[in-house]
Amino acid sequence: MTPLTARPLDLDQLATHTGRVVVFADPDAPLPRAAKRCDRLTRGAVARAVESTEFAALSPGKGLILAYPAGMAARALQIIRLSRKATAEQLRGAGNTIGRAQTEDAALVALDTLPPHDIALHAALRAYRFEAMKGKPKGPLGAFLYAVKNIDAATPALADADALAQSVHLVRDLVHAPANVLNTESFAAQIAGLADLGLEVEILDRDEMDRLGMRALLAVAQGSDNPPKLAIMRWKGAEGAPLCVLGKGVMFDTGGISLKPGAGMEEMTMDMGGAAVTVGLMQALALRKASAHVIGLVGLVENMPDARAQRPGDIVRSMKGDIIEVINTDAEGRLVLCDMLHYAAEQFQPRAMIDLATLTGAIIIALGHDRAGVFCNDDGLAGDILGAASAVGEGAWRMPLGVEYQRQIDSTIGDVKNTGGRPAGSCTAAAFLERFVPEGMPWAHLDIAGVALTKGESAHAPKGASGWGVLTLDALIRAKFEG
């Protein structure tokens, strides 16, 4: 994406800019300077629009467009309804409105004294399209040029917004990439490249994971020709124990021997969504030089049916030593994460652990596509995550943990089954993971199956991959893990 650019507000440029010009107005207040100049250039068209019943009916943050306005060189003049005392939600909404209208032309956004961060971030988040796989892709979307009164204050705010937007776009690109292009090896190579940003990166291969005893993770990968990888990214912007963020990276999920139905299986390229969010978060921390100690881990495997693949009824020994009875090979993500959780706790002794995974279809039945499920063993951490999600406008809802879900996954021939059946499927999946978290360790599991890829527009994105989680976890780290 094109970097977000700040420039001093030059009222004369409003007449000569050839792309889209964006101004703001409040029907209950005098026109701001930029809107007033555009009104003069268009011989009163802006004032007439702002005084119209159509503009009065708009919610704050929404807007209308005047095409090819007389008296201006602009292709379009967009007028956004927004007051000088707009809420954070209204600022985000204004950004979404601006981003939704973005074309290949540059947009000159006359912010003047409005706070730039949320508007610029959400305009960039909404102005996204994935065309890497098209034979004749469209040209890139145009730049956003932000005209501001105080350029010294706006420049760092826009740089921060740019770091977040780039990282969310990275997540979307990764989730959209097909499995024959982005596999375990190419994804690991891309992660290794993040060392250029200052991240310490280590990639463990099959032999190294075997020596560690990660046989639950390796069992998922044994039916694929794509070798398993465990990528570890460290951003050490502060001293002390780290926060560990772990992502499920199933590059493609057929279900294994417990084969999924064919209809819709093509969407299982998104089953590495948790890993993508983890990678995007680590990039964001590096780009903005966060004063936090965070370690990101992603387990990269492919779940395929093959003569070598694990079978329902098999037993595997986890790194922790628990014997897992495999009831369904399509409940594979928890087998990847359980070894990762044990490894992270032992290796890094973190302050807390948070895992992200497109883990269960059951969470979609429970919460739909607007909220991620938050399972957490610590009320303080749960409240912090939900507060961060609310602050950035990403949907999340706390889900229950409890001994009743543990009983559902007790095994008669081993220590634990990898699924407890259909009832409370997302809760029993979280209960399985909870067994691999040390006593007293704050831990949260975010089931993002419903929010990672959507068939319609989400809060910040066009349909498709949303990048849910980068903003929430970044906000959590700023509030609770920096300093």
pLDDT digits (tens, 9 = 90+) for 364-379: 999 999 999 999 999 9
User: How far apart are alpha carbons 349 and 143 in whole angstroms?
Assistant: 43
Rounded to a whole number, what is the distance in angstroms from the first to the last CA of the chain?
30
Going from N- to C-terminal start, the domains of the chain cover 5-158, 182-480
User: How far apart are alpha carbons 59 and 29 in whole angstroms?
Assistant: 16
Task: Identify the burial level of 216 via C-beta atoms within 10 angstroms of its C-beta, where 0-12 means exposed, 13-18 middle and 19 or more buried.
Answer: buried
Residue 376's beta-bridge partner residues?
Answer: 444
Cα→Cα distances 393→145, 245, 407, 431, 458, Å: 24, 21, 36, 28, 11
Q: Which residues are catalytic?
A: 260, 334
Mean of the pLDDT values across residues 233-257? 98
pLDDT tens for each residue of 443-453: 999 999 999 99
Task: Identify the burial level of 387 via C-beta atoms within 10 angstroms of its C-beta, where 0-12 means exposed, 13-18 middle and 19 or more buried.
Answer: middle
Comparing 1-10, 141-150, 229-238, the range with the smallest average pLDDT is 1-10
pLDDT greater than 80 at residue 2? no
The distance between the two most distant Cα atoms of the chain, rounded to a whole number of Å, is 82
pLDDT score recorded for residue 459? 78
Q: Domain 5-158: state its class.
A: alpha beta
Q: Does the domain spanning 182-480 belong to CATH 3.40.630.10?
A: yes
